Amino acid sequence: MILCDYRGNLSDDLFNDILERTEQKLLGIEHSTRIRKKVFSILVEVFQNLHHHYQDELQKKVDAKHQVRLTIRKSGNQYLIFSANPVSYDQAQSLRNRIDILNSLSHYEIRELYRQRLSDGSLSENGGAGLGMIDIVRKTGEKIQYAFENLDNNLSFFKFEVKISA
Amino acid sequence: MNSFNLEATPKTPQIAFDTNGKFLMRGRSIPENSIEFYQPVLDWLAKYQDAVTGATEVEIKLEYFNTSSSKCIVEIFRKLEKVNQDGHPVKVRWYYEQEDEDMYESGEDFQEIIRLPIELIVLDEEENLD
């Protein structure tokens, strides 16, 4: 079941709209407050991550198939949040490194890392805390699935998926 | 010094901090830019640090908060740690919904990294944070 499937440019209004509609749909199909809140708060982080990495100029370089994409679906007892966006070569390297490290940590290590960053890190100028990915891994308890599709020498299409088990 | 009050919006919480030391944060905190939202709160707390004479009781009843808000909540607590160290006791009550283990764990995170007494309390079922 598809709860949301969006492709195109990003804006605050769009985000508010997606959040509101997804929340309404979740209220209709998910009776567990715990899972509903988990899906919703992970969606907020995924979207805000997308937004922090979003660059109009990259978006203009790609064809319709490689525009920003966000889908939320339910399959069996799992929710799947998928996002994809064009990134530069440098962004791709840094994302790959960060995710590989997070995927290699135990649940306990993730929690410790989260606390450490929360306690002593600072906010970047766009408000990013560097905590979003850690929070996603922590709340889902699952590895992040990702892939890069090379579009040209300095452009990749970053695909990211998280699973939330109900 | 005046009290600090903000109404809740779909993405930001109600904030009601009064000069007598009753503080409430309630609702959702998921703004895209949390510094922009929280800076006035932190500025107010800087003045409160100098004006405070008695005890401070903080109630936090959040339905959701994003990770960038969590950094700002840490900053709020850091200001209150200073108030507490200066001899004006501060107590925090962190509320969570019965089933919401993520919000409970967040309360534990703050207990771990903040030097203030933080009590974790289950919300009454009748109380709805929407």
DSSP per-residue letters across A47-65: HHHHHHH--HHHHHHS-GG
Chain A residues contacting B, CB < 8 Å? 12, 15-16, 20, 32-34, 37-38, 40-41, 44-45, 48, 51, 111, 114-115, 118-119, 121-123, 126-129, 131-132, 134-135, 139
Give pLDDT, residue A125: 46
Closest Cα of chain A to B9: distance in Å? 12
Instruction: Say yes or no to pLDDT of A129 above 70.
Output: no
Instruction: Say yes or no to pLDDT of A127 above 70.
Output: no
Closest Cα of chain A to B34: distance in Å? 6
Give pLDDT, residue B104: 96
Task: Name the percent of chain A lying above pLDDT 90.
Answer: 69
Minimum Cα–Cα distance from A131: chain B residue: B67
Closest Cα of chain A to B64: distance in Å? 7
Q: What is the pTM of this model?
A: 0.92
**ipTM of this complex prediction, to 2 decimal places:** 0.92
Q: Are B12 and B39 in contact (CB under 8 A)?
A: no
Q: How do strand B90-96 and strand B118-122 relate by DSSP bridges?
A: parallel
For residue A160, give Cα distances in angstroms to A5, A58, A92, B120.
Answer: 14, 17, 12, 34
pLDDT tens figures, A40-96: 999 999 998 888 878 788 888 888 889 999 999 999 999 999 999 999 999 999 999
Name the residue type at position B17: F
How far is the C-alpha of A84 from the C-alpha of A86, rounded, in Å? 7
How far is the C-alpha of A155 from the C-alpha of A92, rounded, in Å? 9
Mean pLDDT of B9-37: 95
Is there a contact between B99 and A34 if contact means CB atoms under 8 Å apart? yes
Instruction: Say yes or no to pLDDT of A124 above 70.
Output: no
Pick the range with the lowest mean pLDDT from A4-18, B41-55, B67-81, B84-98. Answer: A4-18
Instruction: Say yes or no to pLDDT of A161 above 70.
Output: yes
Task: Name the percent of chain B lying above pLDDT 70.
Answer: 98
DSSP letter string, A110-132: HHHHHHHHHHH----TTS--S-H
Minimum Cα–Cα distance from A132: chain B residue: B67
Q: Please report which confidence band the pLDDT of residue A126 belongs to, taking 50, 70 and 90 as the band edges.
A: very low
Partners of B37 on chain A (C-beta within 8 Å) are none
Closest Cα of chain A to B10: distance in Å? 9
Half-sphere exposure of B80 (CA within 13 A, CB side): 27
More confident residue, A115 or A166: A115
List, in order, residues 6 or more apart from B90 with CB less than 8 Å away.
B55, B56, B57, B58, B80, B81, B83, B84, B116, B117
- Judged by phi (left if over 0) then psi (alpha if -120 to 50, else beta), residue A85 lies in beta
Instruction: Say yes or no to pLDDT of B111 above 90.
Output: yes
Give pLDDT, residue B33: 87
Interface test with A, best of B67, B99, B101 (most A CBs within 10 A): B67
